[in-house]
């Protein structure tokens, strides 16, 4: 159980703000890749893609973005029911009566665990095997994102840098681990590089590319797969071999080399030829930054990774956490860094294992209690840096991996935010909902050895939908006075 804190007195009403904010966001729209349009446009406006234009001095870092907006503002006193919602219904006894039969659904297989927690008090309202480590699938991304935000802060940006020798005739494209680098920003970087070289009259260079930030195996343990590119510190368009930006797609076996060759082509278009095809290599001694481009703020990356369940971003953020911790930026180093960072948050880590950052590895282990504890930490008003974990969760029936779900659980659409998890035989769901008393509840349901993903997902949707408070009965209609004049 998560230990109560001083903020618990006000957090109950704070939870109400989250629910209303979530509904308002969905209604206001539009959404784009898991980011509210206004927030995304603000971030783009702040991100001066490309870096320096004036020679080899180190490019200026963009100003950090602020933390996610305070969506947990208190609107009512704790315990005050929401207007139009029947109060109550989430006592431990009531939840056991309501959730027990749903958790026993045959579609969830023989192994299923559950945890429901009041985020304001840390009180466990319902639990079944909550401390049992299970394969979490993509819900492990919640742990990855909490660790990255805690270690780096929501304003952190990931650089991709062009280093130049003192004579500026040898350039090295240095990957910083930005899994969101695309052709447009790579073109901006090439433009900045060409402008910096133009002042010295250089039109021909030797180009290298450096992926040494990461160590260990490049391939994910699942092997070549349409759900993830080789995990390298330099890629463009996530190594996709088509024009997609989300979801499964065929991937390049050498995304770093492809990115470097694309960069060489973009340089040629801007008047700078390369002597030969780019080769791997670190910057030469004495090299200095010539141009640089930055990712969007970490808060945006977290939202995108959670909403669309982006495996490439998740793995990159696990490695960013490793770099911050001084660990090798490998699968093993990232796992140690994430574990250590979460330990500082005092969440239940017994039996937890982070074999990767995305949840594709079946060796990952997390308990339902750990997932609800992480969501509780993200709801803590004293930890605003973790708020993107909540704002990035897909909205039931509207965004990301929940866009097409909850079709037979209509009252839950727009009211539940949750991270999905699916592997063959594994189906999980973890997120938040506001109860009839305005309390923000965190829930996690994990099922193993499921036989069919469709029926398992429907069962999970019904479980979480059972946490949505019923609508209060409408007041009786007031008779309207008759119109017109009466007969004499």
Catalytic annotation, pick one of 299, 309, 358, 367? 309
Task: Decide: 377 and 32 in contact? Cβ < 8 Å.
Answer: no
Catalytic position from the list 67, 115, 138, 358: 138
Q: How large is the angle between the packed helices 311-325 and 331-343, nearest 10 degrees?
A: 70
Task: Please choose, from the candidates 10, 14, 292, the residue with its C-alpha nearest in 3D space to the C-alpha of residue 160.
Answer: 292
Question: Residue 79's closest CA among 4, 163, 15?
Answer: 15
90 neighbors 441 (Cβ within 8 angstroms): yes
Answer whether 103's CB lies under 8 Å from 445's CB: yes
Closest residue by Cα to residue 396 from 482, 307, 331: 307
Residue whose structure tokens are 């394969």: 135
309 is known as an active-site residue: yes
Give me the sign of the Cα torsion angle 141, 453, 402, 251.
positive
Q: How far apart are the first and last CA of the chain?
A: 76
> Would you state the structure tokens that stand for residue 303, as one six-digit string?
């939202």
What's the CA gap between 414 and 439, in Å, rounded?
17
DSSP letters, 323-387, are: HHHT--BSHHHHHHHHHHHHHTTT---TT-B-S-SSS-STT-BB-HHHHHHHHHHHH-TT-GGGT
Tokens of 11: 């957090």
Q: What does the DSSP 8-state code read for residue 423?
A: E
State whether the Cα torsion 236-240-242-245 is positive or negative: negative
Could you tell me the two tokens for 9?
A: 């007195």
Whole-number Å distance between alpha carbons of 187 and 77: 52
Neighbours of 272 (CB within 10 A): 22
d(C-alpha 384, C-alpha 392), whole Å: 14
Distance of CA 302 to the CA centre of its chain: 3
- Decide: 12 and 380 in contact? Cβ < 8 Å: no
Active-site choice (115, 141, 252, 316): 141
How far is the C-alpha of 148 from the C-alpha of 341, rounded, in Å?
Answer: 8
Whether residue 451 lies in the annotated active site = no
Q: Residue 159 in contact with residue 290, Cβ under 8 Å?
A: no
- The closest alpha carbon to 166, from 2, 20, 55, 17, belongs to 55
150 is catalytic: no
How many whole angstroms separate alpha carbon 289 and alpha carbon 53?
11
Task: Give the residue among 75, 43, 88 at the shortest CA–CA distance from 297.
Answer: 43
Q: Can you read off the two tokens belonging to residue 294?
A: 């930055």
Helical residues (DSSP H) of 270-310, grouped into ranges? 298-308
Q: Annotated catalytic sites, by residue?
A: 138, 141, 309
């Amino acid at each position: 159980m998560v230990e109560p804190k001083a903020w618990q007195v006000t957090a109950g009403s704070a939870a109400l703000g989250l629910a209303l904010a979530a509904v308002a966001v969905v209604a206001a729209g539009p959404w784009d890749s898991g980011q509210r349009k206004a927030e995304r446009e603000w971030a783009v406006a702040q991100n001066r893609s490309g870096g320096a234009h004036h020679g080899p001095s180190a490019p200026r870092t963009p100003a950090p973005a602020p933390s996610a907006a305070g969506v947990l503002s208190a609107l009512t006193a704790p315990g005050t029911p929401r207007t139009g919602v029947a109060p109550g219904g989430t006592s431990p006894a009531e939840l056991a009566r309501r959730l027990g039969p749903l958790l026993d659904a045959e579609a969830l297989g023989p192994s299923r665990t559950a945890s429901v927690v009041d985020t304001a008090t840390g009180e466990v309202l319902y639990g079944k095997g909550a401390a049992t480590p299970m394969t979490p699938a993509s819900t492990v991304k919640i742990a990855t994102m909490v660790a990255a935000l805690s270690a780096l802060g929501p304003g952190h940006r990931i650089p991709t840098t062009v280093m130049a020798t003192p004579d500026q005739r040898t350039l090295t494209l240095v990957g910083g681990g930005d899994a969101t680098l695309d052709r447009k920003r790579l073109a901006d970087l090439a433009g900045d590089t060409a402008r910096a070289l133009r002042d010295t009259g250089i039109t021909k260079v030797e180009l290298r590319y450096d992926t040494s930030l990461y160590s260990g195996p490049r391939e994910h343990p699942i092997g070549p797969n349409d759900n993830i590119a080789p995990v390298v510190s330099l890629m463009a368009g996530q190594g996709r071999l088509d024009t997609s930006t989300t979801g499964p797609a065929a991937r390049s076996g050498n995304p770093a080399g492809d990115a470097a060759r694309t960069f060489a082509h973009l340089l040629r278009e801007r008047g700078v030829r390369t002597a030969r095809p780019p080769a791997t290599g670190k910057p030469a001694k004495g090299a200095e930054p010539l141009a640089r481009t930055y990712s969007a703020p970490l808060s945006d990356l977290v939202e995108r990774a959670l909403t669309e369940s982006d495996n490439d971003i998740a793995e990159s953020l696990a490695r960013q956490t490793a770099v911050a911790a001084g660990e090798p930026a490998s699968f093993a180093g990232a796992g140690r860094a994430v574990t250590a960072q979460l330990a500082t948050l005092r969440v239940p880590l017994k039996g937890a294992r982070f074999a990767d950052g995305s949840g594709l590895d079946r060796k990952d282990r997390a308990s339902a209690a750990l997932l609800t504890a992480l969501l509780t930490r993200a709801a803590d008003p004293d930890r605003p840096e973790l708020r993107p974990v909540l704002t990035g969760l897909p909205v039931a029936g509207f965004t990301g991996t929940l866009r097409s779900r909850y079709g037979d659980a209509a009252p839950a659409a727009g009211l539940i935010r949750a991270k999905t998890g699916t592997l063959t035989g594994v189906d999980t769901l973890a997120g938040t909902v506001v109860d009839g008393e305005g309390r923000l509840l965190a829930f996690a349901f994990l099922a193993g050895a499921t036989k069919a993903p469709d029926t398992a997902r429907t069962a999970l949707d019904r479980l979480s939908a059972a946490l949505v408070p019923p609508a209060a009965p409408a007041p009786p209609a007031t008779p309207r006075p008759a119109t017109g004049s009466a007969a004499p």
